[in-house]
Amino acid sequence: AVPLVVAVSTTKSAKNGLLIRDRAAFERARDLDAIVFDKTGTLTEGRFGVSEVVALGGLDENEALALAAALEGQSEHPIARGIVRGAQDRGLTIQQPGEFRNLPGEGVEAEVGEATVRVVSPGYVERQGLAVNSDRPERLAADGHTVVYVVRDNEAVGAVALADIVREESRQAIDRLKALGIQCMMLTGDSQQVARSVAGELGLDDYFAEVLPDQKAKQIREVKDRGLTVAMVGDGVNDAPALVEADLGIAIGAGTDVAVESADIVLVNSDPRDVAAVAELSAATYRKMI
Ligand code: ADP
Ligand code: MG
C-alpha cells in the first residue's frame, strides 16, 4: 500500500509542476549528498547575446558573423539562437547553407557556397591545431565569455564571444540545497573559464567543464565513486545518459523527450528552485513517517 503521507506529498508536488515517476525516486531525494546541474539553460538563462566579433583574417567582423549565422539557423542550440539574433540585430544578410551536420558537443558544420564552414568550440580548434592569429578571443574567454570560432576550409576566420547570465532562481536554489547539506556541482561542455566564473558566482562546490556529450555519464560515475548519492539535473538530449547514470535523474523545463524519458523526476516549470523543493519535500515527508 502507498503510505498516505507519500500520496499527499506527490499530489502536492504534481500541483507544483513536479512529476515524480516512482515513489522510490522521491524517497531517494532525501538521501542526496550531491546534485550535478547542467549549466546552459538550467543554471543560466540559456539566452546568449553576442558581445563581440573578432575578425581573424579573410573576412571582416560582419562577414564572419553572417557566415556563422548561415549555419546556426539550422541549429537549436542556445549559442546558435544567440548568433542568429546577433546577425539579425546588425541587419546582416544570412545565406542559406547547403548540407548541414551537428558535431555533438563541438559545434556545427555546413557547406556554404563552395566552402566547408564550421562554428566550433575552442577545444575543437585546439584539437585540430588550427592557427588563431589574435589573442583577443582568449582574452574574452578569460573574461568569462563563451567563445566559438568560425572556421572556413580549415582556417579560423573569426571568433564570436557571447554572454549568458546566471539565473536569479539558481542562486536561491543553490542556497536552499546547501542548507540541506547537499553539495552543488555543475557539468558543462562550455570552457573552463566560463564554468569557473558561473561556479564562483553561485558558490558551487565543484564543476566539470569541456565535457563532451559522451563523457557526461562517466563524470557522474566519478562523483558516485566519491561515495556520494548523486542527482543529475538536465534538459538536453546530451544529458540523457547522465540522467540514467545518476542515482536520481531530474529532467527540467520543457526538456527534450529523451531527457524526460530518462528521468525519475520531471520538473515541468523550468525553475531550478523546484529541485530544492523536491529535496525539501522528500526530507519533510520521510521525516514524518519515521
Ligand atoms: P552545454 O550543454 O553544456 O552547453 P554542449 O555539449 O551543448 O554543452 O556544447 C558544448 C560546446 O560545443 C559549446 O560550449 C560550444 O563551444 C560548442 N557548440 C555546441 N553546439 C554549438 C553550436 N550550435 N554552435 C557553436 N558551438 C556549439
Ligand atoms: Mg545542454
Provide the pLDDT for residue 290: 53
Amino acid code (one letter) for 90: R
Q: Which ligand is nearest to the CA of 76?
A: 1
**Is the pLDDT at 87 greater than 90, yes or no?**
yes
Ligand 1 pocket, residue 193 CB under 6 Å: no
Compute the average pLDDT of residues 199-213: 96
Q: What residues does the ion ligand 2 have nearby, CB within 5 Å?
A: 40, 236
Chain mean pLDDT for the chain: 91
Q: Per-residue b/e over 198-207, b at no fewer than 16 CB within 10 Å? A: bbebbebeeb
Largest CA distance in the chain: 70
- State the pLDDT confidence band at 171, using cuts at 50, 70 and 90: very high
Residue 218 has a pLDDT of 98
High-pLDDT (> 70) share of the chain, % = 93
- The answer to whether residue 172 scores a pLDDT higher than 50 is yes
The CATH code of domain 4-45+166-289 reads 3.40.50.1000
The C-alpha atoms of residue 109 and residue 74 are separated, in whole angstroms, by 10
pLDDT in tens, 93-122: 999 999 999 999 999 999 999 999 999 999
Q: Report whether pLDDT(261) > 90.
A: no
40 ligand 1 Cβ < 6 A: yes
pLDDT recorded at residue 253: 79
C-alpha cell at position 56: 581573424
Over range 86-90, report the average pLDDT: 98
Which of 149, 190, 208 to mutate to test ligand 1, by most ligand atoms within 8 A of the CB atom? 190
Share of the chain above pLDDT 90, in %: 77
Atom of ligand 1 nearest to the CA of 213: 6
Domain coordinates in residue numbering, the chain: 4-45+166-289, 49-163
The lowest-confidence range among 46-55, 119-128, 274-283 is: 274-283
**Quick one: average pLDDT of 175-185?**
97
pLDDT at 257: 75
Between the ranges 8-12, 40-44, 67-71, where is the mean pLDDT highest? Answer: 67-71
Q: For residue 138, count other CB atoms closer than 10 A to its CB.
A: 15
| Separation CA 43–CA 103 (nearest Å) | 24
**Which of the listed CATH numbers 3.40.50.1400, 1.20.120.1750, 3.40.50.720, 3.40.1110.10 matches domain 49-163?**
3.40.1110.10
- Indicate the range of 67-71, 190-194, 203-207, 258-262 predicted with least confidence: 258-262
pLDDT of residue 238: 82
For residue 110, the cross-strand partners are 100, 117
Rounded Cα–Cα distance for residues 132 and 156 (Å)? 6
Distances in whole angstroms, Cα of residue 148 to Cα of each of 3, 94, 138, 180, 212: 52, 18, 10, 38, 15
Grid cell 515513489 is found at 23
Q: Nearest CA to 20 among 31, 6, 32, 33?
A: 6
Q: With 70 as the cut, is the pLDDT of residue 6 above it?
A: no
pLDDT at 229 over 80: yes
Q: How far apart are CA 30 and CA 285, in angstroms?
A: 9
User: Can you tell me which residue has the cell 523545463?
Assistant: 253
Q: CA 12 → CA 194, 267, 276, distances in Å?
A: 37, 13, 15
Provide mean pLDDT across the span 259-270. Answer: 86
Residue with CA at minimum distance from ligand 1 atom 21: 107
Task: Give residue 270's pLDDT.
Answer: 86
Residues 32-64 have pLDDT tens digits of 999 999 999 899 999 999 999 999 999 999 999
DSSP collapsed to 3 states, the chain: CCCHHHHHHHHHHHHCCEEECCHHHHHHHHHCCEEEEEHHHHHECCCCEEEEEEECCCCCHHHHHHHHHHHHCCCCCHHHHHHHHHHHHCCCCCCCCCCEEEECCCEEEEEECCEEEEEECHHHHHHHCCCCCCCHHHHHHHCCCEEEEEEECCEEEEEEEEECCECHHHHHHHHHHHHCCCEEEEECCCCHHHHHHHHHHHCCCEEECCCCHHHHHHHHHHHHCCCCCEEEEECCHHHHHHHHHCCEEEEECCCCHHHHHHCCEEECCCCCHHHHHHHHHHHHHHHHHC
Q: Give the residue-averaged pLDDT of 210-235.
A: 96
Whether ipTM > 0.90 holds is yes
Predicted pLDDT of residue 250: 94
| Proximal ligand: closest to the CA of 164 | 1
